[in-house]
Amino acid sequence: MSIQDLIERTKVSFCQDCGVCTGSCPVSRVLPGFSPQQMVGKFVLSADLGLEDEALSDRDMWSCLTCALCLQRCPSKVEYLEFVRAVREEAFRTGNKATFAHDGVIETIVNMQRGGLHQNKTAWAREAGQIAESGEYYLFVGCLPYFDVLFRDMGISSLGSASHMLKMLNKLGIEPVVSDEERCCGHDLLWSGNVDVFKELAAFNIEMIKRCGSKKVIFGCPEGYVAFKAYYPLYFGELDFEVVHFYDLVGEQIKDGALKLSRVEEQTVTYHDPCRLGRMAGIYEAPRELIAGMPGMTLVEMERNRENAVCCGVSCWANCSSYSKQIQMDRLKEAEATGADALITACPKCKIHFTCALSSSDMKMEVKDLTEVMAASALEH
């Protein structure tokens, strides 16, 4: 696709040159010179001057968090997010790639999943609860087993969240399919420009879920949820299974009285909206209702909440830098100012990033995963 087509498709020419995007951008506040508005301007100019190749070699595009705050606030409704995604796709083709954190190990793990690799992804599940080989429900575990290994030294047990999710489903009488054959959802590939591999993995997952005969695929991770819900249909048409977020499913069951939340230790918490779950999937209230539904738990809001929440500082493991740390610390301070004892997130990556930032500070804030917090209340009776 030419840059000119891209500009038209994403309504970039509607830009009023007002600066709301840059004024809102969490990166622009800590990385002087970074500006969504100017990035758009640069591409418009490059298309006019025939300098597309030069624009595509720009490194700034990898600093964007794709957090959608600018998209939320743009008075001209410029589809900035889609613009960045598509620009990255073109840039990747020309060899311009993001700098990945953790020496690119996660990118390697994702790329390894292309071939006939056999993973031992279900061992934890057999220990944690009841799973099936085929059936109506499929539990998409995603990266959690890999994160569990990679970030264990930071005291993060990503599989803890997966096990608790399975236990709660079992309690509701659901024995979901958990598969060794499952591949990465492709979210990070999509946002780092590698669309060909994204499509390969997505096709594999769709086929695999079809073989399991599942009609409802449950996600605990917002990134997998959005990849399946919004981007799989874009490339593969309507899916023949439903994409369900775990919190929506559990929330319904609690309302119906099928699951009860028992009293937890008295605590004041605040909730951080992950970009994918909030701005991109529009799920703001379900997690809040779950938190408020646990007796003993008091929820206080940060100044920037819901559609105005700030990103956790890194997306698709690209360009993690000092500005990421600054964004994370600012957010943690905002959480601290509420007087909360803990910051609850609903995304495994948010938890990793905030925990990482906390490890080099003396702040007394705990970062918790909503699924785990909820497990203590839902499974203890």
Q: Least distance to another protein from the beta carbon of 12, Å?
A: 14
Of the pair 14, 236, the CB lying nearest another protein is at 14
Among 7, 10, 35, 55, the residue binding another protein under the rule CB under 8 A is 35
Site map (CB under 8 A) of another protein, residues 133-172, x = contact: ----------------------------------------
Of the pair 7, 30, the CB lying nearest another protein is at 30
**Which of the stretches 58-66, 72-80, 162-170, 279-287 binds another protein when contact is defined by CB under 8 A?**
72-80
Please, which of residues 295-354 interact with another protein by CB under 8 A? 303-304, 306-308
Of the pair 28, 377, the CB lying nearest another protein is at 28
Of the pair 10, 355, the CB lying nearest another protein is at 10
- Assign residue 249 a region (left: φ > 0; alpha: ψ between -120 and 50; beta: otherwise): alpha
Q: Establish if 73 lies at the interface with another protein (CB under 8 A).
A: yes
Q: Establish if 76 lies at the interface with another protein (CB under 8 A).
A: yes
Among 22, 161, 163, 355, the residue binding another protein under the rule CB under 8 A is 22
**Which of the stretches 2-10, 24-32, 218-226, 316-324 binds another protein when contact is defined by CB under 8 A?**
24-32
Among 5, 9, 13, 16, the residue binding another protein under the rule CB under 8 A is 16
Residue 114 has phi, psi (to 5 degrees) of -70, -40
Among 48, 59, 75, 149, the residue binding another protein under the rule CB under 8 A is 75
What is the crossing angle of helices 370-378 and 246-255, to 10°? Answer: 30
Contacts of 373 (CB under 8 A, 6+ apart): 264, 269, 291, 294, 297, 344
Distances, alpha carbon 243 to alpha carbons 45, 49, 248, 297, in Å = 40, 44, 11, 29
Q: Establish if 20 lies at the interface with another protein (CB under 8 A).
A: yes
The DSSP symbol for 266 reads -
Among 23, 104, 135, 213, the residue binding another protein under the rule CB under 8 A is 23
CA–CA separation, 117 vs 187, rounded Å?
19
CA–CA separation, 186 vs 201, rounded Å?
6
- Could you tell me the two tokens for 29? 């506040």
Q: Establish if 270 lies at the interface with another protein (CB under 8 A).
A: no
Query: What is the DSSP track for 99-137?
Result: -BSGGGHHHHHHHHTTSS-----SHHHHHHS--BSSSSE
Any idea which residue has 């399919």 for tokens? 177
Q: Least distance to another protein from the beta carbon of 41, Å?
A: 10
Dihedral angle over CA of 284, 168, 182, 215, nearest 10: -80
Please, which of residues 184-213 interact with another protein by CB under 8 A? none
Pair 222, 231: CB distance under 8 Å: no
Q: How many positions of this chain bind another protein (CB under 8 A)?
A: 26
248-255: Cβ within 8 A, 24+ apart:
248/283, 248/286, 249/218, 250/168, 250/172, 250/290, 250/374, 250/378, 251/286, 251/289, 251/290, 253/172, 254/290, 254/293
Of the pair 9, 126, the CB lying nearest another protein is at 9
Q: Establish if 25 lies at the interface with another protein (CB under 8 A).
A: yes
- Residues in the site for another protein, rule: CB under 8 A? 14, 16-25, 28-29, 32, 35, 37-38, 73, 75-77, 303-304, 306-308
